[in-house]
Amino acid sequence: MPLREQTTWLRGDRFHCLQPPTAVGRTWRLVLLGAPGAGKGTQAAMLTAELGMCSLSTGDIFRAAELRATGRTEMAEAHARMMRGELVPDDIVLRLIGERRNCLRCPAGFLLDGFPRTIVQAAAFDGLLAAERLQLDAVIHYQVPIMDLVARLAGRRVCSRCQAPYHVVLRPPRIDGVCDRCGGPVTRRPDDEPEAVHRRLIAYIDAIGAVAAYYCRQDRLLTVPAATTPERVFETTLALLAARGFELPRHEPAASAGPPRAPVGAPVPLLP
Ligand code: AP5
């Protein structure tokens, strides 16, 4: 399945989707929860390749804001907060989500990576979904011990042009500092500096208990142990969805061992 552009999500409802996704079977509406470095982005790429919806990341909106002159002072504030490793204020995040209702109504569904992140956001999102007569299918919570998170973020490198993710030990680019995919510069994300990582982990720990409990009460929470390989985490996620009665796409058995069916950590394109 070709990688889709997410320009509508990144720009807001005034823009039309250039490459609308095609539903694969049912319309999926999923949320991914997890600490910084838990692998939400990695799993989002694998799940969207498998299930056909778009992966929509609030972090990508704030990163894209840096590349575009939006003229909105609130985006400058959001970006500054992100760089420091702080959460962006709820009112800014909720305004952005409200402006992107078209993506939430997409016939192929959606997979939200990094939203909602606070109980205020979760409750407001429920109101938005109710107004649109939509329902979440499941909220998947990836859990990883904190020492593993620190190691993952310390080693993460990202192509600053196409956002392809790398890791200095586990997944280095073929040529040091050069993206395998587009030849762009592979660098450290500014909010992966140790001080910002520390703040991001604290912000996560402060908020996650209430958010997880909120979705647990709705019986939508699926908890996935995620300190293993990306492929194993992906298989566990699909198994838990299947155990909840969701029908998954069928695959013909492969005649021979071929490439993996979903790319690990496919890039999320940002705006030119
Ligand atoms: P966001 O972009 O959402 O960042 P994050 O939540 O901190 O998550 P990361 O992107 O760091 O990690 P990930 O879980 O996606 O892991 P990944 O797959 O990349 O948000 C950035 C900022 O925006 C926030 O700090 C905040 O300021 C703001 N923001 C966004 N949404 C907001 C909201 N709703 N409210 C308020 N503020 C908001 O993997 C990490 C590394 O580990 C990679 O190197 C990868 O290759 C590796 N890896 C992945 N899986 C595995 C595995 N299974 N085994 C080994 N290595 C793995």
Q: pLDDT tens across 179-209, in order?
A: 998 899 999 998 999 999 999 999 999 999 9
Which of the 8 DSSP states describes residue 178?
A: B
SS3 125: helix
The dihedrals phi and psi of 243, each to the nearest 5 degrees, come to: -65, -25
156 is catalytic: yes
What is the arithmetic mean of pLDDT over 12-41? 83
200 catalytic? Reply is yes
Residue 14 is among the residues annotated as catalytic for this protein: no
Nearest CA to ligand 1 atom 12: 37
For ligand 1, pick from 40, 75, 84, 228 the residue to mutate: most ligand atoms within 8 Å of CB.
40
Is the confidence at residue 224, as pLDDT, over 60? yes
**Helix runs in 218-266, H state only:** 230-243
Residue keyed to tokens 């609308």: 20
Integer Cα distance of 261 and 1 in angstroms? 10
**Rounded CA gap, 47 and 67, in Å?**
27
pLDDT score for 70: 60
Interhelix angle 90-98/73-84, rounded to 10 degrees, is 120
Q: Is 129 exposed, middle or buried (0-12, 13-18, 19+ CB in 10 A)?
A: middle
Q: Is 63 a catalytic residue?
A: no
In this structure, are residues 61 and 96 in contact, taking their beta carbons and an 8 Å threshold?
yes
- Minimum-distance ligand 1 atom for the alpha carbon of 156: 44
Q: How confident is the model at residue 212 (pLDDT cuts 50, 70, 90)?
A: very high
Which ligand 1 atom is the nearest neighbour of the CA of 192? 11
Q: Is 117 a catalytic residue?
A: yes
DSSP 8-state symbol, 185: B
Q: Which residue, by CA, sits nearest to atom 56 of ligand 1?
A: 152
- Per-residue model confidence (pLDDT) at position 121: 98
Q: Which of 100, 117, 152, 157 is catalytic?
A: 117
Residue type, 191: D
Separation of CA 85 and ligand 1 centre (Å): 11
The number of the ligand 1 atom at minimal distance from the alpha carbon of 233 is 53
Q: What is the pLDDT of residue 215?
A: 98
